[in-house]
Amino acid sequence: MCATCGCGHSHSPEVVTLEQKVLAKNDHLAAHNREWLTARGIRAVNLMSSPGSGKTTLLERTIRAIHARPVAVIEGDQETRLDAERIRATGSPVVQINTGAGCHLDAAMLRDALDRLAPADGCLLFVENVGNLVCPALFDLGEDVKVVIVSVTEGVDKPLKYPHMFAAADLVVVNKLDLLPYVDFDLDICRAHVASVNPHAEVVAVSATRGDNVDSWLDWLGD
């Protein structure tokens, strides 16, 4: 694993020791984030996926549909503020984190973003992680729940190819149901693959673009 994010490039004893220290420091900071969020009644949802799964589209529709509590967003990308601008257009407060070459958010980045965002007590906080199905699974941010989003265009084998990500998930959202007639994707097989690596994860299938079954996603969030 590499010393920065644990993505798997080296297994020398020195690198493994460094990775353990990096992750231990991150977990310590994540615990403080969790205490801070809990004390303010803020529920934090870490959204993880590969690029192009439709995270931001789902988030836009979600924000516009939620009325029971305020919503705030932290956007993670390597570059640009494009997604943050889309979220700002919904009226939700948002802070952008650009990681540069970094392939994930970590607890220190979230702490800095929380200071800048100052989310309202009792809000629902979405953290849109960097598009990557490997490294974000390793880094606890202090969130309440982890949600992995995949799309039908990515194929049914993602849970088997990226088991650590799916094993960490509390919920798997299968997006882009509107494209199901045009791709080779079997939802039942995908559900079975998720269950094989994480029998406790729920699976919800939606179309963020068209709105299909988004109510099930909102119900899971508790709106």
Q: Is residue 20 part of a domain?
A: yes
Per-residue pLDDT of 29-57, as tens digits, reads 999 999 999 999 999 999 999 999 999 99
| 87 part of a folded domain | yes
Encoding tokens for residue 221? Answer: 């969030």
In terms of residue numbers, what domain contains 29? 13-221
Is the C-alpha dihedral spanning 44, 45, 51, 56 positive or negative? negative
Does residue 160 fall inside a structural domain? yes
The answer as to whether 8 is a domain residue is no
pTM over 0.75: yes
Read off the pLDDT of residues 118-171 as tens digits, 9 standing for 90 and up: 999 999 999 999 999 999 999 999 999 999 999 999 999 999 999 999 999 999
- Structural domain total, the chain: 1
The CA distance from 62 to 217, in Å, is 9
CATH number of the structural domain spanning residue 70: 3.40.50.300
Angstrom CA distances, 118 to 43, 111, 162, stand at 14, 10, 34
Which pLDDT score is estimated for 22?
A: 86
For residue 214, being part of any structural domain is answered with yes
Of the pLDDT bands very low, low, confident and very high (cuts 50, 70, 90), residue 12 is low
CA dihedral 198, 156, 150, 178 (to 10 degrees): -130
Percent of the chain with pLDDT over 90: 83
Looking at the domain assignment, is residue 2 inside a domain?
no
* Total length of the chain: 223
User: pLDDT-based confidence at 11, cuts 50/70/90?
Assistant: low
Q: How far is CA 3 from CA 12, 80, 133, in A?
A: 10, 26, 18
pLDDT at residue 79, as a whole number:
87
Dist CA 48 CA 129 (whole Å): 5
In a domain, 3, yes or no: no
Alpha helices in the chain (DSSP H): 13-39, 55-65, 82-88, 107-117, 158-161, 163-167, 187-197, 214-221
What pLDDT is recorded for position 81? 85
Instruction: Scan for tokens 């590969």, then name that residue.
Output: 50
Q: How far apart are CA 108 and CA 26, in angstroms?
A: 7
Q: Which residues of 163-194 are buried (b: 16+ CB within 10 A; e: fewer)?
A: eebbebbbbbbbbbbeebeeeebeeeebbebb
Instruction: Give the model confidence (pLDDT) of 173-204 as tens digits.
Output: 999 999 999 999 999 999 999 999 999 999 99
Under the banding of pLDDT at 50, 70 and 90, the label for residue 17 is confident
Assigned domain for 1 exists: no
User: Which pLDDT belongs to residue 168?
Assistant: 97
Pairing of strands 145-151, 43-49: parallel
